[in-house]
Structures are given as C-alpha cells and as structure tokens.
Amino acid sequence: MLGNLKPQAVDKILMLMGEFRADPRRDKIDLGVGVYRNAQGVTPIMRAVHAAEERLLQTETTKTYTALTGEPGFNAAMAELVLGQGYPADRLASVATPGGTGACRQAFELIRMASPDATIWVSDPTWPNHLSILRHLGMKVALYRYFDTETRGVDFAGMTEDLAAAQAGDVVLLHGCCHNPTGANLNLDQWERIADLLQRTGATPMIDIAYQGFGDGLEEDAAGVRLLAQRLPEMLIAASCSKNFGIYRERTGVLMALSDPAHREVTQGNLNYLNRQNYSFPPDHGARIVMTILNDPALRADWQAELEEVRLGMLALRQQLAEELRRLSGSDRFGFIAQHRGMFSRLGATPEQVEKMKKDHAIYMVGDSRINVAGLNESTVPVLARAMIEAGL
C-alpha cells in the first residue's frame, strides 16, 4: 500500500534551513525562515512567557482535556487583541488551533463546507503554505496581483482590478499586516477601498494575521482587520501567536468567524466539529501562556514592551540597510526596504542573483529574494548591502 505513495514537493523555506546548517562557512548569514532572532542570533523566550510558565507550573492542577473550542479565556483574550476592546461578541465564533497554520487549515475547511465551489483569491505572491493547503484540499484558487516589481510596493490598481471579479460565495484572503513574503502592505485608505470592493462584490474576507506587533505596532497592525470587521457582515480571521509571543513550537493560534448573530451558534458548532474531526482538543499550553499574559496587566505591559523592542530593532535594521544601499548605489532605489514592514522584504533579485549571494557570500535568502530582516545585525547589514550591489541589484 505505502509503495503507492508519490514523493511530495518539499517546503523550499524549510529545505533552505537544512542547506544553511550544512554550510561550513563560519561567516554565513541566515535570512531564510521567518523566525525572529536578536542581534546575537538567538530566538529568545520572552520575559513574560517565562513568567507565565513559572506561574502555570505553580498553579496548574490538572492536564485533563480542555474544551473542543480550546480555553474560552484564551479565545476571548485573542479576540480583544485582534479586534480590539468592544469587539462584537454576539457575532463571534472561535476555536483555538495548532498555530496560525492550523487556523488557516480549519478556515479553508469551513469555507469548503459552507461554499463548496468557492474560489479562494490569494495574493500573488503569498505564503506558500496557503497554496499548498488549498491544493491539498482540492479547492479552487485564483491569484490577484499584489506586488509591483518596479516600486516593490503594492500594485493596488492591479489588485482591485483583479478582485473586482470575485463573487459572493468566494473568499478573498488578505494578510492582516506584514505581508509574507513581500513586506509591502496596504495603508488604511486602501483597506477602506478593499472594504468597498468586498461590499460591492459580496465576497467574504479571510484575514491571516501572523505578525501583529511586528509592523507599526499592536493596534496599528490590526487596523485593517478591525475596519473590515466593522464594515462587513461576515469574515474569517486566522491569528497566530507564534511570532508575537515567540512560542513557535507550542503551536498556538485561533480561528475566528464573524457572522450575523443569528448564524453564530451554528458557525461555532461547525468550528467545534472541525476541531473534533482533525485533532479533537487543540494544544493548550501555549494558549494558556498567552491568556495568562494578556489577562495580567503587569505581564501584558512587559510583553508589550519587549515586543516593541523587537519591532523597533527590525525597523532600525531596515533603515540601516536602506541607508547603506543608498550610499553604495548613490541612488534611492532601495528606499522600499525602509518602507516595508514586518520581518520580510522581497528584494526583487533574480534567482541567479540570489544564488550568487549564497555562493559568494554565504548569504541565504528564499529563492524569490525574500529576506528575514531579523536574521541581520548591525555588522552583517553592510555585508548584505555590498553583496546585493555586487550581484547587480
């Protein structure tokens, strides 16, 4: 039986991690996988996470099953974090999921149950896992233009032109902030116009928000999601805690569905059903850490302060890189690096240029020239800048 299996394509980002590890060069630079690293190259456990874990160790009395929805206090705290205080609880159904990936997977399955012929509109480019999961589920996918290869900003005219063809029953997948892999994001005015477009077409938005707090700030990064939540009758939100709490391996995320209050209960029942079909109870430890932090004013303040340090550190690296490239190239054509937000920037290098930077300088970035800004530090920024110019960017 197992002999019938066909080989599967591997995840290129994860493959690059292996290649980097095997490279013996001591001065190699890893700008591949989207994991935050500090200036020492370490992915730290955040102070508030440590404190919350210590508290849990002292106070937890059981490891019996949670609910199918996950711990309600976690779901509520996440709803407030993403949707803001006073979020519409009467319209909200939610389940805890194994990471943002699990939330995306459950969202796609929910869409398939509600609208079997739905086309899912995804940005070109998007996080490769979106496409891979949708393909695995046999769902229809359409790409909408997103990245302007000239300006390295959003091709908003192309985006809205393509999305005008979305229909009621279709879903438009948007990155809430810090677009992966490009780093190019919508401004608030553009979010308004996307809301207009969705209202006009009747298509349902799905937001994947995996980097809240990494872009312009916790509240600012959620502004687009909140705007759509206010203006549209229905919406799906897949939120990840992997990055902003630094708890990647705990597998912590949440899927939220906003609907008419009359449909809330059945929607919730379907979310519970999907959790039960796929794994029964979602992971609890990470969710409990997040809940403990968000519900404790001191821990929350400390978490926010550390997250802000992380955000400002990445922003400073962006500014340093843009400045270094301005100096070396004598032009402003790399200004987009300081405009982009989040962990990633797509540099716009060709695959050959990406390969050359790897071969000549041991700089590892994803093949589409996506860099993880957090893989840099003050002393490697000039190395990358020189390599980019040398490669002919």
246 binds ligand TYF (CB under 6 A): no
355 binds ligand TYF (CB under 6 A): no
Are residues 222 and 79 in contact, defined by beta-carbon separation less than 8 angstroms? no
Instruction: Please count the residues of the chain.
Output: 393
Rounded CA-CA distance 257/237 in Å is: 6
Listed in sequence order, the residues at least 6 apart from 319 whose beta carbon sits closer than 8 Å to its beta carbon are 338
Give the residue closest to ligand TYF by C-beta. 34
131 binds ligand TYF (CB under 6 A): no
Q: Which two tokens stand for residue 38?
A: 């500090």
Q: Which is nearer to ligand PLP, 323 or 368 (CB)?
A: 368
148 is catalytic: no
Q: Which two tokens stand for residue 144?
A: 């909408």
With CA atoms as reference, report the closest residue to 295 among 131, 71, 135, 93.
71
Q: Which is nearer to ligand PLP, 334 or 344 (CB)?
A: 344
Report helix, strand or coil for 11. Answer: coil
To the nearest whole angstrom, how small is the minimum distance from the Cβ of residue 128 to ligand TYF? 7
Of residues 148, 162, 208, 221, which has the active-site annotation?
208
DSSP 68: T
Rounded CA-CA distance 357/268 in Å is: 49
At 172, give phi and psi (nearest 5°): -105, 115
208 binds ligand PLP (CB under 6 A): yes
11 binds, among ligand PLP, ligand TYF, none (CB under 5 to 8 A by kind): ligand TYF
205 binds ligand PLP (CB under 6 A): no
Site map (CB under 6 A) of ligand TYF, residues 45-74, x = contact: ------------------------------
> What stretch of H or E contains 184?
none
DSSP 147: B
Q: Which of residues 67-126 bind ligand PLP (CB under 6 A)?
A: 99-101
208 is catalytic: yes
240 binds ligand PLP (CB under 6 A): yes
182 binds ligand PLP (CB under 6 A): no
Q: Supply angle C-alpha 227, 231, 233, rounded to 5.
A: 125
Stretch that binds ligand TYF, among 9-17, 151-159, 215-223, 314-322 (CB under 6 A): 9-17
Q: Which is nearer to ligand PLP, 279 or 386 (CB)?
A: 279
Which positions lie near ligand TYF, rule CB under 6 A?
Answer: 11, 13-14, 33-34, 127, 129, 180
Residues classed as catalytic: 127, 208, 210, 243
